Amino acid sequence: MHGLGVSGGIAIGHAHLVTLASLEVDHYSIPPEFVAREVKRFDRAVKSVRAELDALEGELKEQHDQHAGSGDIAAFVTIHRMLLDDPTLAEEPRAIIQRDHCNAEWAIKVQTDELLAQFAEVQDEYLRERKTDVRQVAERIVAALTGQGGAVPEKLRERAEDTILVAHDLSPADVILFKDHQVAAFITDLGGRTSHTAILARSLGIPAIVALHGSREIVREDELIIVDGTQGVVIVDPDETVLAEYRLRQEQWRLERQKLTRIKSAAAETLDGVAVELHANIELPSDIDAVRQCGATGVGLFRSEFLFLNRRDLPSEDEQFEAYRAVAQGLEGMPVVIRTLDIGADKTLDPNISNNAHSALGLRAIRYCLAEPQVFNAQLRAILRASKYGDVRILIPMLASAVEIRQTLAAIAIAKDQLRAEGRKFDPAIKVGGMIEVPAAAIALPMFLRQLDFLSIGTNDLIQYTLAIDRTDDTVAHLYDPLHPAVLHLVASVIEQANLANVPVAVCGEMAGDVSLTRLLLAFGLRDFSMHPANILPVKQRVLNTDTSACRRIAAELMRSGDSEEIRAKLAELNRA
């Protein structure tokens, strides 16, 4: 099978089919003589989910006795247990099987859809929000029916290292859970190259392929599969010869990565003596180990929104402060750029926190923060308080207009005044930067240069918004092109203007970690790159082999071309030079 390889490397392991995102079930009829048996099958599934929830409840109770804080989850398991005992979920599907002679999975789906539709009309907000719980209980029953029993993390506890997850789709919130249960690889039917799901796969350092279409019809549970994330190829049930070939390639990949560790502590400097900063992108405080191991000189992008996913409430100011302080202290004087909450698009808040869609063109990132001043204030106070413990900087995502810059700076000033009045310490000269990821910002750059201390180009969104291509949509993934002349002109012009104005500028989108673009970005005048820890050493090696003056000439020719074939040919020439 061929898909989009979004994270390189080779994994060989056993498939585990997961259903996380939705109730996807088949519909088939049951001959009258087997209807009673189907009802029993349904009853067994309900019984096994009941046992699963009881076990979970027991486990959580034990944890609760040891640590505070797990009470919330326990309450939520109790709600699930109650829903499971309610006749609308435990009895009604039996009647549907008997009436329609359909399979049990379908009966539970029909009943759940009906229930969810009723919930939509409920006035009471608390009750309306129980929708998610109903869906999750129904998903558990379906999982038990299809023999998948249990949520993913439970399953992964047993045999994560050689497990390859096969899913229709995975949200960034699903993938972040794998940080604790490292899997060998994952493949999905949907998704785009710079979706956050793909970005997380790269940060986990595991091979991943998206946009496979129909993988779950081809791959069976537990089947042996090979995932070649570099080529975007999945091989199902390989024979011995193919297996041997891929084991060899896997070993070669490992050796190449190992060889690179030799340059870990070398300074990143080009052949003609240009010094370059190579910073790391992180999602959670626990990523700090990887930052230290790869020899990065700081964190250029801490995607703070990952602290807000997979939970039903907002992290408090103190909780955020602890997370930011841990990173600031862990970096021992190296800088950390904390990006304020970039919620929206594919990173969604629990409906308990916000029911709005926050689409890519909607109330996303800074727009959401300015609309929710209390949420923003708590985060700004937490970042400011952490600034006492290291070299902390603030980065604002998705800015597009002067008003937003002004309002953001005012919000920071208010947070500072509050802390001062309370006698709390922080860095009063903390640097505030803006992400350049909306074309309007790149085009009207002077207002950013005047009001902000530094810039960071988010090429993932800059490409999405310039080319009007949804990053997460596999049907337009072929049109998502970092080498489109419009994108290259915007990136080159932002770097050039910032350099002229003496305002520090970095690139923190995926372009920064793509070795094939390192020389081009150097030729544009970029001296600060931020990328996943896994990309730092390959990019450093390219920096060490580059003469920027030779690159500038070829890059200038490349920029004169409007033709994509010609641009690619020039880029190849640049990389051979």
- Active site amino acids: 196, 508
HSE-up of 362 (CA within 13 Å, CB side)?
11
Cβ-based nearer residue to Mg ion, 426 or 448: 448
Q: Does 191 bind ligand PEP (CB under 6 A)?
A: no
Shortest Å distance, C-beta 195 to Mg ion: 11
- List the interface residues with Mg ion, window 437-476 (CB under 5 A): 437, 458, 461
**Beta bridge mates, 188:** 167
Q: Which of 172, 232, 330, 509 binds ligand PEP (CB under 6 A)?
A: 509
- List the interface residues with Mg ion, window 420-439 (CB under 5 A): 437
Closest among 160, 220, 162, 165 to 12, alpha carbons compared: 162
Q: Which of 109, 155, 193, 303 binds ligand PEP (CB under 6 A)?
A: 303
Q: Does 460 bind ligand PEP (CB under 6 A)?
A: yes
Q: Does 172 bind Mg ion (CB under 5 A)?
A: no
For residues 252-280, one letter each, b for 16 or more C-beta atoms within 10 angstroms of the residue's C-beta and e for the rest, the string is ebeeeeeebeebeeeebebeeebebbbbb
Cβ-based nearer residue to ligand PEP, 189 or 342: 342
Q: Is 126 exposed, middle or buried (0-12, 13-18, 19+ CB in 10 A)?
A: exposed
Q: Does 466 bind ligand PEP (CB under 6 A)?
A: no
Cβ-based nearer residue to Mg ion, 404 or 461: 461
**Beta bridge mates, 392:** 336
Q: Count CB neighbours of 215 within 10 A.
A: 22
Q: Does 305 bind Mg ion (CB under 5 A)?
A: no
Q: Does 225 bind ligand PEP (CB under 6 A)?
A: no
User: Could you give phi then psi for residue 405, rounded to 5 degrees?
Assistant: -60, -45
- List the interface residues with ligand PEP, window 409-438 (CB under 6 A): 437
Shortest Å distance, C-beta 400 to ligand PEP: 13
Q: Which residues, including other chains, have CB under 8 Å from residue 349's CB and lie 6 or more apart? A: 308, 309, 343, 358
Q: CA-CA distance, 283 to 346, in Å (whole number)?
A: 15
State the helix-helix crossing angle for 548-560 and 485-500, rounded to 10 degrees.
130
Q: Which of 5, 344, 458, 533 binds ligand PEP (CB under 6 A)?
A: 458
User: Could you give phi then psi for residue 20, rounded to 5 degrees?
Assistant: -115, -40
- Give all strands of the β-sheet with 185-188 in edge-to-edge order: 4-7, 208-210, 185-188, 163-167, 10-18, 224-228, 233-236
Shortest Å distance, C-beta 196 to ligand PEP: 6
End-to-end CA distance of the chain: 35
**Binding partner of residue 508 among ligand PEP, Mg ion, none, CB under 5 to 8 Å per kind?**
ligand PEP
The contact mask relative to ligand PEP for 335-364 (x = CB under 6 A, - = no) is -------x----------------------
Q: CA-CA distance, 553 to 519, in Å (whole number)?
A: 12
Q: How many residues does the chain have?
A: 577
Shortest Å distance, C-beta 397 to Mg ion: 6
**Binding partner of residue 303 among ligand PEP, Mg ion, none, CB under 5 to 8 Å per kind?**
ligand PEP
Task: Kindly state the number of chain residues that form the binding site for ligand PEP, as judged by CB under 6 A.
Answer: 11
**Binding partner of residue 84 among Mg ion, ligand PEP, none, CB under 5 to 8 Å per kind?**
none
Contacting positions for Mg ion (CB under 5 A) = 437, 458, 461
Contacting positions for ligand PEP (CB under 6 A) = 199, 301, 303, 342, 437, 458-461, 508-509
